[in-house]
Amino acid sequence: MRIEQYQIDQHNDSLLSRHNNHFIFAKEQLAEQGINADDVVKALADFQVAIPSWALGTGGTRFGRFSGVGEPRSLEEKIEDVGLLHALNRSSGSISLHIPWDIPGQAQSIMDLASSVNLKFDAVNSNTFQDQKDQEQSYKFGSLSHVDPKVRKQAVEHNIEVIKYGKELGSKALSIWLSDGSCFPGQSNFVKSFQNTLESLQEIYAALPEDWKVYVEYKAYEPNFYSTVIQDWGSSLLFCQKLGPKADVLVDLGHHLPNANIEQIVATLMMEGRLAGFHFNDSKYGDDDLTVGSIRPYMLFLIFVELVEGMKRAGRASDTYAWMIDASHNVKDPLEDLLQSVEAILLAYAQSLIVDRKKLEQARNENDVVLAQQILQNAFRTDVRPLVRESMRLAGGALDPIALFRNLSVRTELMNERGGLTVATGL
Ligand SMILES: [Mn+2]
């Protein structure tokens, strides 16, 4: 299924006068504070969030999985789905593949299909957290950190193969999340695990093409519950520093211990020039992988405050970082959920762009704690939804993507095309 531009235009026409009123009001409000709303709208249009191939189907839990209908059955259908999202919001212009769940058969035809719906290929993700059919060595007790060099070799070769697939599609980065660790005290030697992992990563690093990066993602716990080899940003940074300039740290919002100050982690990584990008999601307890902004929107905003400041300081544009949604759950239509997530990201970004940084710095220098807090909260409490809508509209997207998704009965169409009993590949 494709969404045609005239369908989006018709939808926008029906909402335009109401939207214009809201936008003009927001614009005037911001102008009173010396902020040009059009600059914010422009920045929003440039902010693209990659969609991972594994978020297009209904996720599961340890206890069960309730499949949705019309889920993508192949890589081609996953590309089609992300194409639908991007047509609606113009902010989801790339897809991140997971190997071996999404091995591209014919690279050229996959690339043609992607460019026909205006998509690029984001980072490619390797998988050594589960065994594949007919795999010689098992990852039950680890992969890149394994005590047996044969297992490590297999895991290294897998990552190099993932780079090969990514190269064919024009990706520029390999993303590694390692589930290696131990479940019980005594099970593994922390130092040897680290050293084995470093050696394995060095071999992968050596296979990176000239203009590629490797993103090293950390996670505090799960699936291992006693120790994880790359457990926190410090470990991740240490690996990256030992590997070299092509390695940067990837922050996944759900991969921290409870109450971690993630915005401070972001600030530190950006100060060191080692932030690769972000995996956005939200959580109440652990790695819940819920819709971005659904639980802690203020934290998301505070993270964006640091991201914007870090980008400014480094003189880097937003498209030089890797922004991706990494979420998966059981109870929503995955495409509607992704539209909500992208919107939440853009809202937090817009709010962080309207923070009065000069005044904030002044308040900090004068130890005016009340004013500093107020400056941030003023921005957070500003309704920036009209700005996000305006940016989507100007880029050719819909003023209300979820409403249009429903009006066009996209899911029913997909069910008619693909059937009711589909299960997205890899999940
Ligand atoms: Mn992640």
pLDDT single digits (tens) 366-376: 999 999 999 99
Both tokens of 400, joined, read 């209300």
> What is the pLDDT, as a whole number, of residue 426?
63
> What is the pLDDT, as a whole number, of residue 139?
98
> What is the pLDDT, as a whole number, of residue 65?
80
> What is the pLDDT, as a whole number, of residue 271?
98
The answer to pTM > 0.75 is yes
- Residue 39 Cα, ligand 1 centroid: separation in angstroms? 31
Question: Which residues lie below 8 Å from residue 210, measured CB to CB, with a gap of 6+?
Answer: none
- Residue 81 Cα, ligand 1 centroid: separation in angstroms? 20
- Residue 217 Cα, ligand 1 centroid: separation in angstroms? 7
- Residue 167 Cα, ligand 1 centroid: separation in angstroms? 21
Phi, psi of 316 (to 5 degrees): -110, 140
- Residue 65 Cα, ligand 1 centroid: separation in angstroms? 20
**Is 346 buried (19+), middle (13-18) or exposed (0-12) by CB count in 10 A?**
buried
- Residue 344 Cα, ligand 1 centroid: separation in angstroms? 18
- Residue 155 Cα, ligand 1 centroid: separation in angstroms? 19
Alpha carbons 233 and 256: distance in angstroms, whole number = 9
Smallest Cα–Cα separation from 142: which of 196, 185, 98, 99? 196
> What is the pLDDT, as a whole number, of residue 427?
56
Question: Which residues lie below 8 Å from residue 116, measured CB to CB, with a gap of 6+?
Answer: 83
- Residue 177 Cα, ligand 1 centroid: separation in angstroms? 7
- Residue 107 Cα, ligand 1 centroid: separation in angstroms? 25
Q: Which residues of the chain have pLDDT under 50?
A: none
- Residue 14 Cα, ligand 1 centroid: separation in angstroms? 38
- Residue 84 Cα, ligand 1 centroid: separation in angstroms? 23
- Residue 51 Cα, ligand 1 centroid: separation in angstroms? 12
- Residue 219 Cα, ligand 1 centroid: separation in angstroms? 8
Question: Which residues lie below 8 Å from residue 390, measured CB to CB, with a gap of 6+?
Answer: 19, 23, 37, 41
Does the bond joining 245 to the residue before it have cis omega, within 30 degrees of 0? no
Alpha carbons 370 and 116: distance in angstroms, whole number = 52
Name residue 83's beta-bridge partners.
Answer: none
- Residue 403 Cα, ligand 1 centroid: separation in angstroms? 29
- Residue 215 Cα, ligand 1 centroid: separation in angstroms? 11
Both tokens of 143, joined, read 């992969």
Alpha carbons 363 and 372: distance in angstroms, whole number = 5
